Chain A
């Protein structure tokens, strides 16, 4: 927090513009292109994940303060768990003949 109270909050501004770009980009892909439904889903999903990362690092002080190592480990571990549970379940449940 402190280092941002002085000087121009450049990272916030960059983060803000990147978020705008990503949001409007997603809207544009969904509304203005004629890509297939599947492609649209993949693209806007990816943009959403990128934006979540930007928010975490540019606005939520992930990389600051004495807890930054712990914060980063936390986020990476949570992402790992989420991927394992969601992607793992989809893979296991749909690839065999059990579904």
Chain B
């Protein structure tokens, strides 16, 4: 224990003080606003207790966008600090905290929630289902992720942030070298969020295997469904490793065990080993669904079936196997034997093969297509060259011998941003522009979208391209400053200016969301892009039961073929049946809250209090076991009425195409 109460709130830094006040005011404002507009009931019944995969998906996306703001501000602060030599904006400690929270938040609370959010919204619709396999578990996944994210985020105002990097290597991350409680936040918050992600993985494996509509064989699934399925399998295979590693970290830090401390007979390198056994597959967990979204978007706007569907499937299956076999490339320089380094060098380069196959398939899909340059498609087009830069520098890093030169420099930082931003963030933005109309019934504005696109892409390149050269010149990563003699100044300045352009691009997206919510046209029909997959075969925004009657699939690009062959069936009144759906439940959000409280107490090493709070977790489990709620039925009248409204005036289900 030995927590000093006067250090409970972080004090003494004007920046943090300002955010503390800011957060307090925002919270009070939000609570007051909800109370004033009498929205508590709406919030509770429509969102907080929902088990509808579409609403859960939207909540994930909202969380991802908010966390992007937080992680982005961290990134800008770092760029501000290193813009000029010997800058005094952030001190060393503060810089350490900022790159740590930036890395963790961007990967686990931005990339993951945005992707899982889109998966949640789209996958059941694409496979013609009414929900995921376990709707209540799905809600629990969300609330655990949210709870972990909030716990991680309060670290910088209460108790202090973790500061040992997003990798939190031992011995640095151990009690001896990081005695504060900051790193406990890392161990506990990621544990909670990780449990949520693992459940999502299980849920989507079962959903894809068991919930597909009639006729949709595995080889007729849309590519996004395929990649999400493979991603879920990788989640199930790799997240338990992280769970164990974090548990051991918690034991070491809180209960005095020595799994990772050499002095006690432990092995510090084992942490790096376990971390990357999870960490590398994690990279594929974020990139594969993104690839899937691109595939669907490219084939929609090139108006052609995806080229090489089979080879795409084989590639992602190969990636899922290879991705478990490359983890050592993250620590080539830590003294492994030559055989180990050579083996992992080769497996790493081998991954470039299936990835290359995919890139060529996308190019061939576009070849001779009548491409429509919508904002969504622009992101997909920009993805190809930018991601290739990331991939090629990745193959450079894969050579163990050469890695001794690149390791720990800004070259590496540039490389992984070139993989993560074009490979994950661009596709996510593409996906938001593409599926936004399905989610909300209006499109994001295309003109603001172009601003969003150009500012972001240009800003991204100006920010990260110089880092390749800085790294080759010897600028190390995670260094809070450098001297003027190094000559890094000019490139660092260019990079900092780039990050402002990048931020402006993101601001354009946020503005677009606001503008479109207020002014966008609501009359867009159910299929505004002339798309190919089943999610476009139902109303916009999607009615809560998804499909009045479950569609039957005969071909890949099912909806496209229905449109071409005039097989869109008008709803026959006598065939409509009551639809059985699961009811809302308070248990998932309750679990999120008790996990959050218990986790918070554990962070402060008040173990007895944490154990008492954990009783609440078991209470939640018990309630769930005695919960005999059988769900409810949507009545025929309601279905007929809802269907009548969106199908009215529709040309066999298709209204005007906006392009």
B209 contact from A70, A89, A93, A95, Cβ within 8 A: A70
Which of A78-99 touch B at CB < 8 Å? Answer: 80-81, 84-85, 88-89, 91-93, 95-99
The minimal Cβ–Cβ distance linking A42 to chain B, given in whole angstroms, is 22
The B432-486 residues at the A interface (CB cut-off 8 A) are none
Residue of A nearest to B325 (CB): A84
Contact of B324 with A89 in the complex, beta carbons under 8 Å: no
**Given known A-B contacts A81-B237, A98-B335, A99-B267, A92 and B340 have beta carbons under 8 A apart:** yes
Asked if A98 and B237 sit within 8 Å, CB to CB, the answer is: no
Instruction: Determine the chain B residues whose CB is within 8 A of the CB of A93 once the complex forms.
Output: 267, 269-270, 273
Contact A95 B336 (CB under 8 A): yes
- The residue on B at minimum CB distance from A70 is B209
Contact B270 A96 (CB under 8 A): no
User: In angstroms, how far is the closest chain B Cβ from the Cβ of A97?
Assistant: 5
Q: Are B336 and A96 in contact (CB under 8 A)?
A: yes
Those of B264-285 within 8 Å (CB) of chain A: 267, 269-270, 273-274, 277
The answer to the question of B334 belonging to the interface, with a C-beta cut-off of 8 Å to chain A, is yes
In the assembled complex, the Cα of A85 lies from the Cα of B281 at a distance in Å of: 12
Contact of B269 among A77, A84, A91, A99 (CB under 8 A): A99
| A53 to B334 CA separation, bound complex (whole angstroms) | 38
What is the CA–CA distance of A70 and B206 in the complex, to the nearest angstrom?
12
On whether the beta carbons of B324 and A98 are closer than 8 Å, the reply is no
Q: Which residues of B sit under 8 angstroms from A85, Cβ to Cβ? A: 241, 277
Chain A proximity mask over B308-344: 1 for CB below 8 Å, otherwise 0? 0000000000000100110010000011110110000
Interface membership of chain A positions 63-74, coded 1 if the CB is closer than 8 angstroms to chain B and 0 otherwise: 000000010000
Contacts of A77 in B (CB 8 A): 233, 237
Smallest Cβ distance from A3 to chain B, in angstroms?
A: 24
- Candidates A70, A84, A91, A99; contact of B324 at CB < 8 Å: A84
Chain A interface residue count, CB cutoff 8 Å, equals 16
B277 and A98 form a contact (CB under 8 A): no
- In the complex, the number of residue pairs spanning A and B with C-beta atoms less than 8 Å apart equals 43
- Shortest CB–CB separation between residue A91 and chain B, in angstroms? 7
User: Which residue from B241, B269, B274, B339 sits with its C-beta under 8 Å from A98?
Assistant: B269
A92-B328 contact, Cβ under 8 Å, with A81-B237, A98-B334: yes
* B273 pairs with A92, CB closer than 8 A: yes
In the bound complex, CA of A70 to CA of B522 (Å): 45
Partner of A89, one of B233, B237, B273, B337: B273
Residues of B within 8 A of A89 (CB): 270, 273-274, 277
Which B residues, 216 to 263, have Cβ-Cβ distances below 8 Å to chain A?
Answer: 233, 237, 241
In the complex, the answer to whether A81 meets B324 with C-beta atoms within 8 Å is yes
Chain A residues whose C-beta falls within 8 Å of the C-beta of B237 in the assembled complex: 77, 81
Contact B269 A95 (CB under 8 A): no
A80 to B339, CA, bound (A): 21
Which residues does chain B contribute within 8 Å of A80, judged by CB atoms?
321, 324
Q: Name the distance in Å between B284's Cβ and chain A's nearest Cβ.
A: 14
Partner of B340, one of A70, A81, A84, A91: A91
State in angstroms the CA–CA spacing of A99 and B269 once bound together: 7
Q: Which residues of A contact B339 (CB under 8 A)?
A: 95
Q: Using known A-B contacts A89-B277, A93-B273, determine if residue A98 contacts B336 with beta carbons closer than 8 Å.
A: yes
A48 to B405, CA, bound (A): 46
CB-CB under 8 A for A96 and B337, given A70-B209, A84-B325? yes
Contact B273 A97 (CB under 8 A): no
Residues of B within 8 A of A97 (CB): 335, 337
Please, how many angstroms separate the alpha-carbon atoms of A88 and B241 in the complex? Answer: 13
Complex CA gap A69/B80 in Å reads 56
Closest Cβ of chain A: how far from B105's Cβ, in Å? 27
- How many Å from the CB of A2 to the closest CB on chain B? 22
Residue among A89, A96, A97 with max Cβ neighbours from chain B (10 Å): A96
Residue of A nearest to B335 (CB): A98
Across-interface contacts of A95 in B (CB, < 8 A): 336-337, 339-340
Docked complex: B331-360 residues within 8 A CB-CB of A: 334-337, 339-340
Q: How far is the CA of A85 from the CA of B324 in the complex (A)?
A: 9
Q: Least Cβ distance of A93 to chain B in Å?
A: 6
B340 surroundings in chain A (CB, below 8 A): 91-92, 95-96
Q: Which residue of B lies closest to A98 (CB)?
A: B335
Most chain B CB within 10 A, of A77, A84, A91, A92, is at A92
For residue A72, give the distance in angstroms from its CB to the closest CB of chain B: 14
Residues of A within 8 A of B321 (CB): 80
A80 to chain B, nearest CB (A): 8
Interface string of A32-63 (1 = CB under 8 A from B): 00000000000000000000000000000000
Q: Can you give 8 contacting A-B residue pairs, CB < 8 Å?
A: A77-B233, A81-B237, A84-B324, A84-B325, A88-B325, A93-B269, A97-B335, A99-B269
A93-B270, A95-B337, A97-B335 provided; 14 other pairs, C-beta below 8 A? Answer: A77-B237, A80-B324, A81-B237, A85-B241, A85-B277, A88-B277, A89-B274, A92-B336, A93-B269, A93-B273, A95-B339, A96-B337, A96-B340, A98-B334
Give the top 10 A-B pairs by smallest Cβ distance, nearest first: A96-B336, A98-B335, A95-B337, A96-B337, A97-B335, A96-B335, A98-B269, A81-B237, A98-B334, A84-B324
Residues of B within 8 A of A (CB): 209, 233, 237, 241, 267, 269-270, 273-274, 277, 321, 324-325, 328, 334-337, 339-340
